[in-house]
Amino acid sequence: MYPSKFEHVPVQSIDDAITALKEYDDAELIAGGQSLVPLQKTRFASPDHLIDIGNIDELQYVEAEDDAVRVGALATHTEIQQAPPIRDHVHLFSECISQIADWPVRNQGTFGGTIAEADPSGDYLPVMQVLNPDIELAGPEGERMVPFDEFYIGMFTVDMAETELVIGARIPKIETAVPDAAAVGSTYKKHAERSGDYALVGIAAIVAIDADGMVADAKLSVGAVGPLTRATEAEAAVEGTELDENALNEAAAAVREAVLPDEEGPEGEYKEAMAGEFAERALQTAYERATENL
């Protein structure tokens, strides 16, 4: 199917984008178009105006700061994945992006579009939940910064007014996640039917250890199994342990208990079981990486 008729409104600056958002009633921003265009083609979205922010140069960057990496809203998945500060300091994000769809999607899809879309099957959400970056927004009242855990309200719902846009984020380097830890490791594990498919389960884990190899702090988030789930009971089960088999089993059981799959019956049970299994694998990998960093 073709999209319904719309007016293309290209803008060259953040201010112009805000002016256009204020001016047009039935308007949508378009960045990489990887989510919006399929929705238009299937007529799940039929905006009268498409405000095209794809050429706003000031939104295209990935740059390191002291304890964070700043990512512009128009940085593509590929640009983020390949950026040295992300590979070196936010490894799980780079690992996550490498498992999104395929090259054409990763070359077009942007950080801002993905964060604003807040698709519960998307790979970003669990990673963002464990990192809790500050999301930067701009609107008629100026700019504001919101921690991800306040920005993300629920599936497809974020704290963003109709006249605002995401302009970027300040993502903490994982070594700053637990300042007193001796070493930190992280990973993103995805379970999908075929490589490049949307996730059946997506798990982000950060594990910080002390000098004796004991888990000082763990952050674990489960995506694509019903609502985005921060697995706090599982985190507590591994903290203070050397991540032995008992701790891992307890964590997996806590994850199975915490998730609420949308599917009923065997499909839901399968996702629950896989959430436990992949959480275990993620914790193990993050722990091993932390010990390598000791």
Ligand X SMILES: Cc1cc2nc3c(=O)[nH]c(=O)nc-3n(C[C@H](O)[C@H](O)[C@H](O)COP(=O)(O)OP(=O)(O)OC[C@H]3O[C@@H](n4cnc5c(N)ncnc54)[C@H](O)[C@@H]3O)c2cc1C
For ligand X, the binding residues (CB under 6 A) are 28-36, 38, 73, 100-101, 105, 108-110, 112-114, 116-117, 119, 122-124, 165-166, 198
Give the whole-angstrom CA distance, residue 180 versus residue 173: 14
Q: How far is the CB of 94 from ligand X (least distance, A)?
A: 14
Q: How far is the CB of 257 from ligand X (least distance, A)?
A: 26
Q: How far is the CB of 186 from ligand X (least distance, A)?
A: 18
14: amino acid identity, one letter: I
Cα–Cα nearest to 246, from 271, 218, 280: 280
Beta-carbon contacts of 35 under 8 Å, excluding residues fewer than 6 positions away, are 109, 113, 114, 117, 119
Question: Which two three-digit tokens encode residue 50?
Answer: 């498409």
* Strand, coil or helix: 123: coil
- Give whichever of 20 and 215 is closer to ligand X, judged by the CB atom: 20
Give the whole-angstrom CA distance, residue 124 versus residue 82: 16
- Give whichever of 34 and 284 is closer to ligand X, judged by the CB atom: 34
Give the whole-angstrom CA distance, residue 203 versus residue 96: 9
Q: How far is the CB of 154 from ligand X (least distance, A)?
A: 16
- Give whichever of 58 and 269 is closer to ligand X, judged by the CB atom: 58
Q: How far is the CB of 118 from ligand X (least distance, A)?
A: 9
* Strand, coil or helix: 159: coil
- Give whichever of 51 and 178 is closer to ligand X, judged by the CB atom: 51
- Give whichever of 9 and 31 is closer to ligand X, judged by the CB atom: 31
